[in-house]
C-alpha cells in the first residue's frame, strides 16, 4: 500500500431508480497508518479494534479505519474509548451520562 491510503472524494452515481445520488467516501487508514498517526504500536491498534474501542471494517485480510473514528478517539478525554452513540449523551432525567469506565480507571490509577 502507499504511504497513506487517502480515499476522500465525491462522485455522483445512479441509484436503483435511475436518479443521481451524491456519494461521499471518507479517508480510510490501514492499521500501520493509524498506529503511525497515534504514535502507538500496530498491535495496540489491533487490540482496540478487537475490544470494540475503535471501529474498523475488514477488507480482505486487512482492517481499515475511518479517519474520523481515529480522530474521535484522539480528541476525547479518554483516547482509547469511542464517543457515546447519539442519544446516549444525556440520562432520561436530563443530566450528562456518567462515565463509569473513567471512574474505574481513575480509582485504579491511585493504586
- In the structure, what pLDDT confidence band is assigned to residue 32 with cuts at 50, 70 and 90? very high
> Could you tell me which residues are beta bridge partners of residue 96?
90
Give the model confidence (pLDDT) of 37-52 as tens digits: 988 899 999 998 998 8
From CA 52, how far away is CA 81, in angstroms rounded? Answer: 9
The DSSP element (H or E) to which 21 belongs, if any, is strand 20-25
Start-end of H helices in the chain: 31-38, 42-51, 67-75, 100-109
- Mean pLDDT of all residues in the chain? 77
Asked if residue 111 has pLDDT above 80, the reply is no
Amino acid at each position: 500500500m502507499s504511504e497513506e491510503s487517502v480515499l476522500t472524494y465525491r462522485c455522483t452515481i445512479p441509484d436503483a431508480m435511475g436518479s443521481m445520488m451524491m456519494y461521499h467516501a471518507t479517508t480510510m487508514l490501514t492499521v500501520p497508518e493509524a498506529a503511525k498517526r497515534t504514535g502507538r504500536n500496530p498491535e495496540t491498534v489491533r487490540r482496540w479494534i478487537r475490544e470494540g474501542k475503535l471501529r474498523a471494517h475488514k477488507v480482505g485480510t486487512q482492517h481499515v479505519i475511518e479517519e474520523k473514528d481515529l480522530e474521535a478517539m484522539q480528541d476525547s478525554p479518554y483516547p482509547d474509548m469511542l464517543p457515546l452513540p447519539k442519544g446516549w449523551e444525556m440520562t432520561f432525567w436530563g443530566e450528562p451520562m456518567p462515565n463509569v469506565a473513567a471512574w474505574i480507571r481513575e480509582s485504579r490509577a491511585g493504586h
